[in-house]
Structure 1
Amino acid sequence: MKFSRIRSAALAVGLTATTLTACAQQADFDEVGRQMAIMLQNSHFARLPFNDMGPRFLEDFIRDLDSGKVYFTQADIDRFNREYGENLSEMIMKQDSMRAAQDIYDTFKKRVEARVAEAKKMLASEEFDFTKSESLQRSRKDAAWPKDEAEAMSIWRQQIKEAVLSENLRRDMIAKLAEKQGKPNPLKNDKDPKEKLALRYERFHHSVVKDVDGEDVAAMFLSAVARSFDPHTDYMSTREMDRFRDGMKNELVGIGALLQGEEDGATKIMGIVVGGPADKQGILKLNDRVVAVDPDGDGPKEMVDIMFMKIDKVVDLIRGQQGTPVQLKAEPAGGAPGETNLISIVRDKVALKDEQASAEIIEMKGKDGENSRLGIITLPSFYADFDEGKVRCSVDVERLLERLKDEGIDGLLLDLRNNGGGALEEVRRMTGFFTRRGPVVQVRNTFGEIQVKESEKEPIYDGPMIVLTDKSSASASEILAGALQDNHRAVVVGESSTFGKGTVQQPMDIGRMLPFFKARNKAGTLKVTIQKFYRPSGSSTQKMGVIPDVVLPSLTDALEVGEAFLDHPLEHDMIRKAPDFVPLKEEQLFLPRIKELSEERVKASKDFAYISEDISKAKARIRDNKVSLNMADRKKELDEIDQQQQQRNVERKARFAEVQKKDKEQLAFYKLTLDDVEKGGDLRAFDPSAENEQYMRRAKDETAELDDTPQWPSALDPHKREGVMILNDLVDITRNARMAGLLDR
């Protein structure tokens, strides 16, 4: 018995040591690919035939690398199809796929090296003739692959020529604007256009050739395989998963600086978070240029040269564990040539306050002397901390909503524009703030089993409500907007539809699925579509999105934006209405009258007329799909655009001044942040057209400041202003109907 215990203990020690060794080594990505394939076949909603999908895997990987069809040739494509196309599914299952991935990437790298070498040669020696009547395609998405290297180089030379022409025209335009406004030309001391473009190509070359290791190639290939099932199934490397978690938490551990890659290879400090580690330390300044990073501070690691390195990899070097130092080698802004500083900063948590929920109140004078207090909640995403649960957007919105209710708001606008979604549980909980208990969303798995998720608490706010959406409102945003629309609880206002993402993804750790003795370090995560969600009415938001009750013109109507334009989207479908779903009376939204009043304003709006005009022109440009290489033609085109813009600006400046004057007479604005709620006290009045508090100090962009397009009056863009007006209409109509005894809720 004693011997047995000793032997078992020794065996346990041996297993632990072996396991630790396996964990320390990097995972075999051939094995990772095989396990991911098994997980896709077992877990993906659509149950696609994996063995038949090799050609699609190949096509998607190639397109990810060369979407513009300027690097690979038809001969390359033919070889890839011949050697891998029909075999790729089998190669993945036989743990032999990385050979194909590396071969394809090596070919891509070779082609990029050839193209960049040609670009440098042309930029160094060639004088470009911009008097010829030449053009090239704006988009080569539907073009044929170049038949050989000679044709590929011919297309590439045209693109170099267009890049030189565009850079020269850009500089001419900026010089004219600066002269017209009596300001110094911000590009006066800039590098020669050709030299600047050569550096841009060098950065691209570095990002493809020198900045990519085997892990990166594996991640690109496995991501293409995963996304062949649908646009939202994806492989995420360990680095990508860490960034995803930070984004969901709305916080990160770093130094609190916004970085931008410069064309000469350095990384420029474009922003510093107020109160963040870099701000508190005080040495790093805006416009400083970082050229090297020691991720270990004073530890055993050495400075890493980051010249021409991808920004995400620079970020990975700078981020780390809370309380640890990182050292930057930086060229100070305005310093002498060659001057550098070594700056050590201790990493700490940085809250992304710009991405938090926030609120405001607009107090609007009524025609009858009765004022309306309109609350606005802006929610950038459905964020949540999956690890510790300390950060939850539903908790933040609840706090803001309770305060708005205490302030006696008469109506609420929930702004979900540019909200790409997030945590499903957060939207389920949040819907209950506005509706009585009942179905919020239905979730169906691949076996057809349907689960109804309901709100759990009594509503906090039951007054007039508007939901403002656009084409970027996706996933959780669509669940919330769809549930409120189905319940006849709110009027949805916005662009022609929301994004149309009606699927649910679950992250799965691939390392946990690897054989016990296999190395699992950096195996990555499969984010796989396991369910589709449906509105309480039974309609999926997939591909179709949520169609607003009041549709406003938008430039996105001319662009390919939305789920339907992505590769391999799942289809829209319907299921039965959720059991026990009893919506409110639609008549109590007064939609016919609301639409009538909005249509009158939109028809009379000069800004919406401009938008409609831009939509028509954008559609024409996309259909034409050509860009001229003739200097005179391009100047004429740009002059026409500039003339139109100047005419609009003259008209807008006069009109906006009148609108701003009326706003000051009729509107009062109050700001409400989560910090304000925490501190308590009175509301803070603010001028939305003035410079207000910022969570990040940003570097001055002298080129952008030459744009003399006037700012929207009171910072209300046409869509937000119309949303506010619709909300005010709804408040007035509801108030009158209640006084007349026409409402029963």
Structure 2
Amino acid sequence: MRRNPRYKQTTVLLRLARHSWAVAGLVLAVALVVFSPVSAEQLPLQPEPIHGEIARVFSEKLPALHLRAVSIDDTMAAKALLLYLTALDPEHDVFLSDDVVGFRQTERELDNLLKQGGVEPAFEILAVFKIRLRDRCEFVDRLLADGFDVTAPDWIERREVTSRTPWPADELSRDELWRKKIKNEYLRRVILAKTDTPDEEDAEPEDAGAEMTEISGKYRQILTFVEDNDAEWVVEQYLSAFARSFDPHSDYMSARETEDFDISMRLSLVGIGAVLTSEDGFAKIVSVIPGGPAERDGRLQPGDRIVAVGEGDGDPVDVMHWPLSKTVEIIRGKKGSTVVLMIVPATAVSGAASVKVDIMRDDVKLEEQAVKGETREILTGTDEGVRLGVITIPGFYVDMARTFSSGKNYTSSARDVAEVLKGMSRDNVDGVLLDLRGNGGGSLEEAVKMTGLFIDRGPVVQMKDRRRIMVLEDEESGTAYSGPLVVLITRMSASASEILAASLQDYGRAIIVGDSRTHGKGTVQSIVPLKTRRGKRGSLKVTTASFFRINGSSTQVKGVAADIVVSSPLDSLSLGEDAIEYALPWSRIEPLDLERPVGSSLLEDLLLGRFLGGTGNRGERVKDISPMINELKIRSQERRHGNPKFVAREGLLSRYSEREKLDRISLNLDERMKLAMEERRLYELQLAEADIIGDNNNGGRKGRSGDLVLEEALSILADAVAYEARTARAREDD
């Protein structure tokens, strides 16, 4: 393979500069002048004076506010450096190991430098990254010019990259990574073209020029983005790396990013209604927003990765390795217009089964986000029908402004659930199911109030910050519903959803059904403006507290485990908090004594740092429902094993799991075509599992008629109704 002599000379010069950031900048500037004459606009970026002020304020606020109560020291600086390098080079294939070793020689200076307002290392590293990336673009062009042998046996290894993943040891190993990477991308595009035109007989097109041009253009576009970014972007990435060294939910938002965040909080921006994150160069679907176009369409699923975005009939633009903000910007658009997304489904580990999803942009319809209730008649084994209520809770919403200004007339998810329960009481339902699938959380207070609808006073959740442990309670006497209760969850049920599910489980008040566990996000973040002498300059999003169940266990990482597991496809994907680097660990505190009357020992509360509200005795005690759960679990397993639909579904989930375990993927075209066809079938089965109904091009909708998980959860609830009726009769006979 032909080498770039200029690259080697630049490398030598840069290696002379590894003992000092200042010297590195000088040598780098010389290298650029000698080997690539540039205009003033192309000279390396430099920090502005305001960035030093921001860094000083940031370095004071972060350790002072964060839950962990640790300082920015050498250890945190070492983590931050690797996180910053990974933010620039998410696949760890642009820098070389020697580069990283050189950067790390001065990592012990980074914490003190930051406290003094020094952010120069971020700019020095970026300058090196630009040189490496230009070299990679040239290498890609040479690869594409030589072409690929797609008939020989060849493989690409799956790499789960974190900030601690090693970089290539030398140029040869890096070149081999890129050869496989670009060949893999070429195959993906060839297969996509073939599957879009299935009448063609040849698997590989005679003229692969279009695919080659697209790949070359993609990496040139990435280089353009990197070179066009300004100093504010560099500082944002660098300070965010320090924040994420504390935990993954802490962040620095520049003034520009803060303004975008504020706008998104105030307005309903027109788009597809999906929450995205950046992962391994992809824009990845975290969740779809209830009531949004994506949720109504039904084809986008959590874990899907967006590789290209188009407008109407135009050609999609490759967005791999784009800044997430730029990807979001082109997904948004005029209401009523169509955005075309090329996605790699979460189930397609090879990336070969790209799928086109076209969605009409629209507002998120608020009425679609509201609590909904319905009553169903379920036949039991004795042909006796039971009436069961299903309450779908998309989020824990509340109109805070009206809460304080207009008294009783305000929007509240807890109040909406209470109203639905009143209607179900009039309908004489025998049992109630709370559907929390995909509910990512919301208002903590609403979760506490909603729990209170099902328990007769008592603590709901403990919240621990740096100074104390607070107990949030249901202080209202009585319940809105006291009968059999099932809570349905998935891996995307998070935060406030986990508080509701955990509390009802701890009281023995509900049976938790669904995925093996919930998401596992048990922390609270606060947005703190950063004020300098020149006014507000961005914000710090910082983790300030964590949640604990009334039994003392945190919901962090472990989430809430299901009593009866009826898995969805999400259960086999890496979607939980445990899959996020530097997530805060699970922990526990002292459990609450549910037998002690509220406020009975003020001295004890003060000694423990707890502040318990309300007066009088706790009316609720923990019920042991494990015998019922054990019986219902056996009945559920027998029912599913005898149901052909569930047997087929279990086969589908097993194939999901097998795909997740693949450690390498073939780069032989025939083998990849077979894999792509299998992954496309899995994707179609996944849509069938999600029960997509209607013409998706005209805004399909998600229905319940084929929702096997819900049907089984209702059968479990019907069994619970029968179990409690039987045990009640037994008590009467005694």
Q: Same fold (TM over 0.5)?
A: yes
Change (3 A) 1:633 1:115: same
Tell me how far apart the structure 2 counterparts of residues 96 and 170 of structure 1 sit (CA, whole Å).
47
Indicate the residue corresponding to 2:534 in structure 1.
519
Q: Which amino acid aligns with 2:471?
A: V
Distance 1:520 1:156, change over 3 A: farther
Structural RMSD (CA): 4.6
Alignment of 1:105 onto 2:122 = no
Question: Which of the numbers 191, 196, 210 marks the counterpart of 1:169?
Answer: 191
**2:101 corresponds to 1:78:** yes
Distance 1:594 1:586, change over 3 A: same
Larger mean Cα displacement after TM superposition, 486-495 or 454-463: 454-463
What SS does the aligned partner of 1:192 have?
A: helix
What SS does the aligned partner of 2:512 have?
Answer: strand
Q: CA deviation at 1:395?
A: 3.7
**2:667: which partner in 1?**
629
Contact 2:292 2:363 (C-alpha < 8 Å) held by counterparts = no
Quote the offset at 1:605 in angstroms. Answer: 4.3
Residues 169 and 456 of structure 1: CA distance in aligned 2, closer, same or farther (over 3 Å)? same
TM-score by length of 1: 0.69
- Secondary structure of the structure 2 residue equivalent to 1:510: strand
Query: Is the 2:272–2:362 contact (alpha carbons within 8 Å) kept by the matching residues of 1?
Result: no
Match of 1:604 among 622, 626, 642: 642
Cα distance in structure 1, aligned partners of 2:366 and 2:93 = 39
What is the rounded CA distance, in whole Å, between the counterparts of 2:733 and 2:575 in structure 1?
Answer: 40
2:62 pairs, out of 40, 53, 58, with: 40
Counterpart contact for 2:652–2:682, Cα < 8 Å: no
Q: Which residue of 2 aligns with 1:69?
A: 92
More displaced 10-residue stretch of structure 1: 355-364 or 735-744: 735-744
Alignment match, 1:312: 325
Number of the residue aligned with 1:451: 470
- In the TM superposition, residue 461 of structure 1 has moved relative to its aligned partner by 2.1
Report what 1:235 is aligned to: 252
Q: CA deviation at 1:50?
A: 1.8
Shift of 1:476: 1.4
Q: Say whether 1:590 aligns with 2:628.
A: yes
Which of 370, 382, 386 matches 1:372? 386
- Opposite residue 113 of structure 2, the aligned amino acid is M
CA distance in 2, matches of 1:255, 1:558: 32
- 2-structure distance, mates of 1:432, 1:612: 36
Q: 1:642 and 1:388 mapped to 2: Cα distance?
A: 48
Change (3 A) 1:441 1:588: same
Q: Distance in 1 between matches of 2:267 and 2:187?
A: 41
In structure 1, the residue matched to 2:505 is: 485
Where does residue 175 of structure 2 map in the other structure? 153
Deviation per CA, 1:475-511: give whole Å up to 9, x if none. 2111111100001111011222222222222222223
Three-state SS of the structure 1 residue aligned to 2:73 is helix
| 1:224 matched residue in structure 2 | 241
Distance in 2, Cα, partners of 1:689 & 1:126: 44
Aligned-partner residue type, residue 100 of structure 1: P
Where do residues 264-663 of structure 1 align in structure 2 (5 Å cutoff)?
Answer: 287=312, 312-313=325-326, 351-366=365-380, 368=382, 370-384=384-398, 392-447=412-467, 449-457=468-476, 458-511=478-531, 514=532, 518-521=533-536, 523-580=537-594, 582-587=620-625, 590-606=628-644, 608-610=646-648, 613=651, 622-638=660-676
- Relative to structure 1, is the Cα distance of residues 286 and 45 closer, same or farther in structure 2, using a 3 angstrom cutoff? closer
Query: Per-residue CA shift, 1:234-289, capped at 9, x if unaligned?
Result: 22345555665676x6x72445677999xxxxxxxxx9989xxxxxxxxxx98276
> Retained in 2: the 8 A contact 1:499–1:545?
yes
CA distance change for structure 1 residues 213 and 553 in 2, over 3 Å: closer, same or farther?
same
Distance 1:383 1:714, change over 3 A: closer
Q: Deviations over 1:613-671 (max 9, x none)?
A: 5565555555552122122332344466678999x89xx99xx9xxxxxxxxxxxxxxx
- Deviation larger for 405-414 or 541-550: 405-414
Contact 1:411–1:728 (CA under 8 A) maintained in structure 2? yes
* CA drift at 1:369: 5.4
**CA–CA separation in structure 1 for the residues paired with 2:396 and 2:373:** 15
Counterpart residue identity of residue 726, structure 1: I
Q: Distance in 2 between matches of 1:314 and 1:625?
A: 29
Is the contact between residue 396 and residue 496 of structure 2 (CA under 8 Å) also seen in structure 1?
yes
Task: State whether structure 2 residue 722 is matched by structure 1 residue 732.
Answer: yes
Q: Distance in 2 between matches of 1:475 and 1:614?
A: 29
Aligned length: 601
Preserved CA contact (<8 Å) 2:489 2:513: yes
Once residues 149 and 528 of structure 1 are traced to their aligned partners in structure 2, the CA distance between those partners, rounded to angstroms, is 39
Q: How far did 1:159 drift? A: 0.9
Alpha-carbon separation, structure 2, partners of 1:315 and 1:74: 33
Q: CA deviation at 1:133?
A: 2.2
What SS does structure 2 have at the residue aligned with 1:590?
A: helix
Cα pair distance change 1:727/1:600, threshold 3 Å: same
Shift of the alpha carbon at 1:58?
0.4
| Structure 1 residue 162 displacement after superposition | 1.0
TM-score by length of 2: 0.70
Instruction: State the 1:95 CA deviation.
Output: 0.2
User: Which AA in structure 1 matches 2:176?
Assistant: S
Q: Is the contact between residue 260 and residue 311 of structure 1 (CA under 8 Å) also seen in structure 2?
A: no
- Describe the shift of the 1:174–1:132 C-alpha distance in structure 2 as closer, same or farther (beyond 3 A): same
Alignment of 1:189-268 (within 5 A): 192-210=210-228, 212-238=229-255, 240-241=257-258, 252-255=267-270
CA distance in 1, matches of 2:238, 2:67: 21
Per-residue CA distance 1:169-199 (angstroms, 9 max, x = gap): 23333433x799xxxxxx9x99933344445
- CA deviation profile, 1:573-621 (whole Å, cap 9, x unmatched): 2222213355342249822221121121233345554565556555555
Deviation at 1:363, TM superposition (A): 2.7
- The whole-number CA distance in structure 1 between the counterparts of 2:257 and 2:446 is 23
Following TM superposition, by how much is the alpha carbon of 1:94 offset from its aligned partner in structure 2, in angstroms?
0.6
Amino acid at match of 1:209: E
Identity %: 31
Q: Secondary structure at the match of 1:507?
A: strand
Q: Which runs of 5+ in 1 are unaligned?
A: 1-25, 181-186, 262-270, 275-284, 292-305, 320-325, 334-346, 657-687, 693-697, 706-710
For the 8 Å contact 1:415–1:467, the answer to whether it is kept is: yes
Match of residue 27 from structure 2: none
Q: Distance in 1 between matches of 2:549 and 2:733?
A: 26
Structure 1: which amino acid aligns with 2:122?
A
**What amino acid sits opposite 1:531 in the alignment?**
A
Aligned pair in 2 of structure 1 residues 200, 44: CA closer, same or farther (>3 Å)? same
Tell me: CA distance 1:393–1:286, structure 2 relative to 1, closer, same or farther (3 Å): farther
1:490 and 1:589 in contact (8 A); partners too: no
Instruction: Note the alpha carbon deviations across 1:386-414, whole angstroms, 9 max, x for none.
Output: 56656543344344444444444332211
In structure 2, do the counterparts of structure 1 residues 209 and 729 end up closer, same or farther at CA, with 3 Å as the change threshold? farther
**Matched residue type, 1:501:** K
Matched residue, 2:33: none
Structure 1 residue 725: Cα displacement: 1.5
Indicate how the Cα distance of structure 1 residues 134 and 573 shifts in structure 2: closer, same or farther if over 3 A, else same. same
Any conservation in 2 of the 1:206–1:309 contact (CA below 8 Å)?
no
Partner of 2:115: 93
Please say if residues 31 and 95 of structure 1, whose CA atoms lie closer than 8 Å, have aligned partners that are also in contact. yes
**Does the 8 Å CA contact 1:588/1:743 hold for their aligned counterparts?**
no
